Amino acid sequence: MSRHAQLFAASFVLAALAACGAPANRGSTATPAASTTKIAVVATPDATPANPTPASATIIDHYTVRNGDTLSGISMQYDISIDDLMRANGLTNPNALQIGQVLNIPVQVSRVAPADLLLPDSEVVYSPAYTSFDVTAVANQYNGYLASYREKVDGAMLTGPQIIQLVAERFSVGPRVLLALLEYQSGWVTQTTLTQDQIMYPMGLIDPSRHGLFLQTSWAANHLNEGYYGQISGRLGAFTFKDHSRARLAPTVNPGTTAIQDVLALNSTWSDWQNAIGANGFIATYRTLFGDPTARAIDPLVPKGLKQPTLRLPWAYGELWYFTGGPHSAWGDFSAWAAVDLTPSDLAGSGSCYPSRMWVTAAAPGQVLRAEQGRVMVSLSNSNFQGSGWTLLYMHIATAGRVEPGTLLKLGDRIGHPSCEGGDANASHVHFARLYNGEWIGADMAPMVLSGWTISPLGQQYEGTMTRGAETRTACDCRDDAKNGIVGDAGTP
């Protein structure tokens, strides 16, 4: 994106987080909700991309403020004056940004993305279409660089296929998509002789701080979620190319197609991108490896009017906990606002990462599928697969005392102690989120209700309310019994 002429010499420093409203216990699993309408997928990936007639329009893009951001830096990135940026967001103080704050960015964009549909939603998320899929078998079948690759991840030496599987599960994205992107960008699946750049940057992101399969694949999965949930929520208004030019989303494509278009745009120019999303680009690689993607389509992936099963507050009766984080991203930066943060009272006010003595308990009966690096996945669907039916994520669960995979849980059974394990949390808490058929379910897609408390998002990530009858609690990184304190009970169905 071109830098505008009106540069300010002064750099505005990010304001310190307020005592309430800017949670300090956020983790890296927590960051991205409106329309839940699914667009039927039509098998048209071989069609020649359309050349839409440019029509300049203002779109409202959204930017989530991160540590170290300044208003002047954001204004340069988006080629918008600081005055216009402040006006678009009702800001009166340029120094009052908060981490996690979502800014509205008015952007003039003339190009429009092609409308040809690439993949069904059920291929892009880790859905029932992957129930019997075996990443290792595919890698061994083609016997390329991936099959013999090894890398240390979170202290454990993993094979290349194990890394793909881990990223697919954590971000809940389709492993066939990750493998096809890996092959398209660097030939890792079928080729044995690669260049140094292909080995270092297998997803095509040339960034020395993100080299190796795990970080590169995590980056790709994060941006697949950016496209997928950005389209559903309306928060992604345009794709951004490596030269900082932009193109508006086609209004008729499904979230799965938007996800592919988004991740391929980031390392492309507009003209390169036309080839990448055309008939001879990514989709040709996908078909060579896995055949017709529509053959496994599940439509609708998430039924209209989906309602969650009955869930209880995930702690013991009579215990006081705090609602410290409203709806925010379930995993990474860009998934649906499907998670909330809940903090036990025994460590309240300390900002401590020592594991709590209190227990996170099962919000519903289910089977433990995974327990690793703070992450516990529980299927509520009598399934051994996390992408089938309802699945719950309990994050930042301490290793000591944590429930084992395979355990059949009854309502209220102990899962483990809140901690900072996994992600980038700086205070012990539990990050709680929902999946249905592999899709992260935002609090506004299907209301999250715990013991009769209905959780609702507000304008920014981590902001939100919990309401039951005449009672309301407001998310806050504070320990105020009246404002965000909740005592565990059975509540109402």
DSSP character string of 59-99? EEEEEE--TT--HHHHHHHTT--HHHHHHHTT-S-TT---T
**CA dist., res. 24 & res. 476, Å (int):** 10
CATH number for 324: 2.70.70.10
**CA dist., res. 365 & res. 408, Å (int):** 8
| pLDDT tens digits for range 393-409 | 999 999 999 999 999 99
pLDDT value for 204: 96
**CA dist., res. 211 & res. 280, Å (int):** 27
| pLDDT tens digits for range 321-347 | 999 999 999 999 999 999 999 999 998
With helix as H, strand as E and coil as C, how does 220-265 read? HHHHHHHHHHHHHHCCCCEEECCCCCEEECCCCCCHHHHHHHHHHH
Confidence of residue 259 (pLDDT cuts 50, 70, 90): very high
Full DSSP string of 303-371:
-TT--PPPB--SS-TT-EEEEEEEEE-SSTTTS-S-EEEEEEGGGTTTT--SPPSS-EE-SS-EEEEEE
Q: Which residue has the higher pLDDT, 51 or 120?
A: 120
Q: What angle do CA 58, 61, 65 make, to 5 degrees?
A: 145
Statement to judge: residues 474 and 366 lie in one domain: yes
**CA dist., res. 383 & res. 391, Å (int):** 9
Cis amide prior to 300 (ω within 30 degrees) = yes
Q: What are φ and ψ of residue 93, in 5° steps? A: -125, 115
| pLDDT tens digits for range 47-76 | 334 444 455 677 777 788 988 899 999 988
Q: What are φ and ψ of residue 120, in 5° steps? A: -65, 155
**CA dist., res. 248 & res. 30, Å (int):** 27
pLDDT value for 22: 37
| DSSP helix/strand/coil, 151 | strand
Confidence of residue 154 (pLDDT cuts 50, 70, 90): very high
Statement to judge: residues 292 and 325 lie in one domain: no
For residues 340-355, give the mean pLDDT: 86
Confidence of residue 492 (pLDDT cuts 50, 70, 90): low
Q: Which residue has the higher pLDDT, 237 or 456?
A: 456
pLDDT value for 55: 54
pLDDT value for 53: 45
Is residue 290 within 8 Å of 183, Cβ to Cβ?
Answer: no
Of 236, 261, 296, which residue constitutes the final position of a domain?
A: 296
| pLDDT tens digits for range 16-50 | 223 233 344 544 453 333 333 333 333 333 333 44
**CA dist., res. 374 & res. 369, Å (int):** 13
| Predicted confidence (pLDDT) at residue 493 exceeds the cutoff of 80 | no
| pLDDT tens digits for range 425-435 | 889 999 999 99
Statement to judge: residues 250 and 376 lie in one domain: no
Mean pLDDT of the chain: 88
For residues 360-387, give the mean pLDDT: 96
HSE-CB of 453 using CA atoms within 13 angstroms: 25
For residues 145-173, give the mean pLDDT: 98
Of 296, 330, 349, which residue constitutes the final position of a domain?
A: 296
Q: What is the DSSP letter of 176?
A: H
**If we measure between CA atoms, which residue out of 485, 423, 352 comes closest to residue 26?**
423
Q: For the chain, how big is the Rg over CA atoms in Å? A: 22
Residue 77 lies in a domain: no
Residue 14 lies in a domain: no
Of 229, 263, 296, which residue constitutes the final position of a domain?
A: 296
Residue 58 lies in a domain: no
Statement to judge: residues 280 and 350 lie in one domain: no
Residue 102 lies in a domain: no
Statement to judge: residues 290 and 394 lie in one domain: no
Counted domains in the chain: 2
| Predicted confidence (pLDDT) at residue 458 exceeds the cutoff of 80 | yes
Residue 251 lies in a domain: yes
| Predicted confidence (pLDDT) at residue 6 exceeds the cutoff of 50 | no
Statement to judge: residues 129 and 267 lie in one domain: yes
HSE-CB of 345 using CA atoms within 13 angstroms: 15
| DSSP helix/strand/coil, 381 | coil
Q: Which domain holds residue 231?
A: 121-296
Residue 194 lies in a domain: yes
Q: Which residue has the higher pLDDT, 284 or 76?
A: 284
pLDDT value for 334: 94
| Predicted confidence (pLDDT) at residue 177 exceeds the cutoff of 80 | yes
pLDDT value for 99: 85
| pLDDT tens digits for range 123-136 | 999 999 999 999 99
Residue 104 lies in a domain: no
Tokens of 143: 């016997």
Lowest mean pLDDT of 14-23, 44-53, 103-112, 205-214, name the range. Answer: 14-23
